[in-house]
């Protein structure tokens, strides 16, 4: 099965699961998704203060080379809670399939946890101690929110969507 087929299969399964949720569970998911987006926005702003956009543009997404498996079910649920369409990844690219010609195809509030929390050494040197402390506090909060979202479904969404599909193929 190709990565595109795994992606399509995984997205369809998440959509189906989401459509069958009770209104109460959808409301809880929406509340958690809003907190996740806010936390990601904070992380993005802190990284921006350390000139991340400028630095990232110069390196052409070197850290994005292994991003194929970073999108998790939780990330897709955040999209669904906002009634938004998912991005269309390009698995033919040699680097991250979620990276377009002008950067990440996802807004900061929708980027996977691994992506929004990654700070390379080139950016890290520009983080002052108070900003670094704020960044890592926000990262801990985000990881806690992901865990909370996983618990809502009594399932383990620790793995990327493509990895989950690969595991189901083998089983």
What pLDDT score was predicted for residue 164? 57
* Confidence band of 160 (pLDDT split at 50, 70, 90): low
Is residue 39 one of the residues assigned to a domain? yes
**Higher pLDDT among residues 90 and 168, named by residue:** 90
What pLDDT digit, counting tens, does each position of 125-150 carry? 899 999 999 999 999 999 999 988 88
pLDDT higher than threshold 50 for residue 170: no
Average pLDDT, integer, range 55-77: 80
Domain contains 64: yes
Strand, coil or helix: 120: coil
pTM over 0.85: yes
Task: Determine, yes or no, domain membership for 81.
Answer: yes
Q: Is position 4 within any domain?
A: no
> Which of the four pLDDT bands, split at 50, 70 and 90, describes residue 109?
very high
Asked if the structure places residue 14 within a domain, the reply is no
Whether 23 has a pLDDT exceeding 80, the answer reads: yes
Which pairing describes strands 103-104 and 99-100: parallel, antiparallel, or unpaired?
Answer: antiparallel
> Is 170 within a domain?
no
Percent of the chain at pLDDT exceeding 90? 39
- 106 belongs to a structural domain: yes
Of 84, 67, 20, give the one whose Cα is nearest residue 162: 67
CB 109 within 8 A of CB 37: yes
Identify whether 8 is part of a domain: no
Q: Averaging pLDDT over each range in 30-34, 63-67, 88-92, 163-167, which range is the top one? A: 30-34
Number of domains in the chain: 1
Supply the range of the domain harboring residue 25: 19-165
């Amino acid at each position: 099965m190709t990565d595109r087929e795994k992606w399509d299969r995984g997205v369809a399964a998440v959509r189906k699961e989401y459509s069958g949720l009770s209104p109460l569970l959808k409301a809880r998911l929406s509340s958690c998704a809003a907190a996740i987006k806010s936390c990601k926005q904070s992380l993005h702003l802190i990284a921006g203060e350390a000139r991340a956009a400028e630095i990232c543009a110069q390196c052409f997404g070197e850290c994005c080379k292994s991003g194929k498996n970073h999108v998790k079910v939780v990330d897709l649920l955040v999209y669904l809670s906002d009634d938004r369409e998912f991005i269309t990844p390009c698995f033919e690219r040699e680097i991250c399939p979620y990276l377009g010609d002008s950067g990440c195809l996802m807004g900061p509030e929708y980027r996977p946890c691994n992506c929004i929390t990654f700070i390379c050494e080139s950016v890290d040197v520009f983080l002052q101690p108070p900003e670094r402390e704020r960044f890592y506090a926000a990262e801990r909060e985000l990881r806690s929110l992901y865990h909370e979202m996983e618990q809502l479904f009594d399932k383990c969404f620790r793995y990327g969507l493509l990895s989950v599909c690969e595991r189901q193929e083998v089983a």
